[in-house]
Amino acid sequence: MKRILKYFLVILFLSTLWAGLAFYGTLKCWWHQSLAESNDPALFTEAVNARFEKEFVGNFAMAIMNDGTIDKELFHSKGKKVDRNTIFQVASLSKFVSAAGVMKLVELGKIDLDTPVSRYLKRWKLPPSEFDNEQVTVRKLLSHTAGLTDGLGYNGFENKDSVQTLEQSLTKAKDADPGEGGEVKVGIEPGSRWKYSGGGFTLLQLLVEETS
């Protein structure tokens, strides 16, 4: 029995050690090769150009910033020319920027993470549902646990004239993914589980406008 316990503890220790190393190595990017050999912007740009020669398939714009100013710019295009004024559909890459903006308002005392979002909104309200909309808070919206069932990713619009207002998009997004209704509403118990919601961040966008 002691021998079995000893083997179990050794296996547990080695498993924990391996898990810790794997986690630390992932954070430190041990398994990823750097694109360039140094942080020199010129070398990085050369490396990007070399990669494009092998696998470029679409449109691309890149800017390298140094102390708040643009050090290097690089553009590639397939078809229509791309430059610094080209508009890209960046989709959910914007979420961490949005979250930082919300948290700045929290820091300034204009938003409380655990106050019902309805307390801040005047231009649009969540539609009635079988669940308590007052349980939808800023914290839950940020963490995709507010119970919203919109299923939105957004496909984007063909031109700027077709872009909806925030209120219109929240009511029924015209650029919803195929098969999704596009309505932002509470469809499961807020706080009960994680469910991705692009509409939740559209609601946070409205919140930022209303509070700032």
pTM (2 d.p.): 0.67
CATH classification of 91-211, choosing from 3.40.50.300, 3.40.710.10, 2.40.30.10, 3.10.50.40? 3.40.710.10
Please identify which residue in the block is written with the tokens 């919203």. 148
CA atoms within 13 A on the CB side of 8: 5
Q: What are the average pLDDT values for consecutive 10-residue runs of the chain, which has 212 residues?
A: 74 82 74 74 85 83 88 87 87 88 95 95 94 96 95 83 90 88 93 94 95 91
Three-class DSSP category at 122: coil
Sign of CA pseudo-dihedral 117, 119, 120, 121: positive
- The domain segmentation of the chain, as residue ranges, is 35-88, 91-211
d(CA 64, CA 71): 5
- Show the tokens assigned to 191: 């706080």
Q: Quote the pLDDT of residue 112.
A: 96
Three-class DSSP category at 95: helix
Q: Quote the pLDDT of residue 89.
A: 77
Is residue 135 within 8 Å of 116, Cβ to Cβ?
yes
